[in-house]
Amino acid sequence: MLFLRKNFVVGLLLLVACLSNAQVAKYSNEFLAIGVSARAMAMGGANIVTSTDVTAGYFNPANLLKIKPKFQLALMHAEYYAGIAKYDYGAFSTRIDSNSVASVSVIRFGVDQIPNTLAFMDANNNPNYNLISSFSVTNFATLLSYARKIPKLKGFMLGATAKIVRNSLGPFGGSWGFGFDVGASYTYKKWHFAAVGRDITGTFNAYTYNMTAAQQQTFAATGNVIPSNSLEVTVPRLILGASRTFIVWKDKLAITPEVNLVTTFDGRRNEVVSTKLLSIDPLIGLEICYLHLIYLRAGMNNIQQATNVDGKNQWVVTPSIGVGIKYKIFQLDYALTNFGSGDNAIGQYSNIFSLKIDINNLRLPKPKA
């Protein structure tokens, strides 16, 4: 026990030392906050309670235990900024036994075919278009999730996700990062509750740069800052959620609302609740299910105050809508998101599709003694 305590203290001191030498960024690894699944995006991102499929590896790893098929596969593709940025997601889950489930998720968000004009001028200081090359700036993450049922804690399910993050800046540099999420779910009568701790230890990103002398000279001549190696930390956040399904018409029509509260601890943000200590951003979603076949969804998030053209503050939200259809082992979902309202509407629409496949029927191996 004394050995464990000493090692815990040493680990804590190392963590504090890393944090003291790192740059704590308010908006770090934001591509991991975009979300996955057209179902979730149609519901405004409120999904840590009702994500009962393979996407739980991203939203709440504890909910992996609610997956019924032995194997499950999910795919999603989205494009932003008129197709300039592309977002891809894939996940696979497998049930280990009746008490545990594991999954792996992969996310890529990138901009490709960016012109590299640093060598645009030749040795005689004349423009040479043949010297222009292209590169990609990408954010890549692998999520390894595991959930296990605790028999002694009736109604509770626990899970954790290990994240490996790779940010690539083309030939100029990039970063490697790692972090952890933890999740818990609890069912009380007809109510379902969930709590997720994102980046609970801080997600560390170590950036290194490979700038040549000629590139640094070009940066200096054009007034740009020459980047240097650094360590960036994504600070923790806490998400709480609640949901309940209401049966409206026998077993044919059901309505499921969900509310999530995303709490950050890095100072004031433009959120509904904003203090020096924390900020809270509510996510609200609704799903209507007919015959377990057709789904209608709506949601809202990004509720904040913005200044209109008259210089007055007003509350604005980002609504979203979507539909889904499930047939046997296939489920196809669609979401229309990222469109504003009021005087601050920007009219940017994103069409998102996702597909989920149940590989085979559930066959549970006996749990190990």
Q: CA 62, CA 149: separation in Å to the nearest integer?
A: 8
Read off the CATH number of the domain in which 332 is found.
2.40.160.60
CB 111 within 8 A of CB 135: no
Q: CA 43, CA 322: separation in Å to the nearest integer?
A: 8
What pLDDT is recorded for position 230? Answer: 85
What pLDDT is recorded for position 343? Answer: 43
What pLDDT is recorded for position 224? Answer: 81
**Distance, CA of 231 to chain centre:** 21
Q: 351 - beta bridge partners?
A: 336
Residue 32 is part of which domain span?
Answer: 23-358
What pLDDT is recorded for position 368? Answer: 56
**Would residue 368 count as lying in a domain?**
no
Residue 292 has pLDDT above 80, yes or no: yes
What pLDDT is recorded for position 334? Answer: 96
What pLDDT is recorded for position 154? Answer: 81
CB 283 within 8 A of CB 299: yes
**In this structure, what token pair is assigned to residue 350?**
């994103």
Determine which helix (DSSP H) or strand (DSSP E) holds 6, and give its type and residue range. helix 2-20
**Would residue 367 count as lying in a domain?**
no
The DSSP annotation for 123-185 comes to TTS-B-GGG-EEEEEEEEEEEEEEEEE-TTSTTEEEEEEEEEEEEEEGGGEEEEEEEEEEEEE
What pLDDT is recorded for position 216? Answer: 79
**In this structure, what token pair is assigned to residue 305?**
């105050």
What pLDDT is recorded for position 120? Answer: 72
Residue 12 has pLDDT above 80, yes or no: no
What pLDDT is recorded for position 13? Answer: 34
**Distance, CA of 241 to chain centre:** 16
Q: CA 73, CA 57: separation in Å to the nearest integer?
A: 12
**Would residue 12 count as lying in a domain?**
no
User: What is the tally of structural domains in the chain?
Assistant: 1
**Would residue 17 count as lying in a domain?**
no
Provide the pLDDT confidence category of residue 142 given band limits of 50, 70 and 90.
very high
What pLDDT is recorded for position 234? Answer: 86
Provide the pLDDT confidence category of residue 360 given band limits of 50, 70 and 90.
confident
Determine the 3-state secondary structure of 15 from DSSP. helix
108-122, 160-174, 233-247, 281-295, range with the lowest pLDDT:
108-122
Which residues, at least 6 apart from 110, have a Cβ–Cβ distance to it below 8 Å?
Answer: 85, 86, 136, 137, 138, 139, 140
What pLDDT is recorded for position 110? Answer: 94
pLDDT in tens, 44-62: 999 999 999 999 999 999 9
What pLDDT is recorded for position 3? Answer: 36
Other CB atoms within 10 A of residue 325 CB? 12
**Which residue in 180, 172, 248 sits closest to 208, CA to CA?**
172
> Which percentage of the chain shows pLDDT scores above 70?
87
**Would residue 166 count as lying in a domain?**
yes
* Residue entry with tokens 């539909």: 323
**Which residue in 39, 34, 33, 36 sits closest to 321, CA to CA?**
39
Residue 175 has pLDDT above 80, yes or no: yes
Determine which helix (DSSP H) or strand (DSSP E) holds 54, and give its type and residue range. none
**Would residue 363 count as lying in a domain?**
no
**In this structure, what token pair is assigned to residue 290?**
């007919």
**Which residue in 318, 327, 328 sits closest to 42, CA to CA?**
318
**Would residue 64 count as lying in a domain?**
yes
Provide the pLDDT confidence category of residue 112 given band limits of 50, 70 and 90.
very high
What pLDDT is recorded for position 83? Answer: 82
What pLDDT is recorded for position 139? Answer: 95
What pLDDT is recorded for position 7? Answer: 38
The DSSP annotation for 314-343 comes to EEEEEEEEEEEEEETTEEEEEEEE----GG
Please state the rounded mean pLDDT for residues 134-157. Answer: 90
Determine the 3-state secondary structure of 109 from DSSP. strand
**Would residue 123 count as lying in a domain?**
yes
1-5, 15-19, 156-160, 164-168, range with the lowest pLDDT:
1-5
Q: CA 167, CA 139: separation in Å to the nearest integer?
A: 5
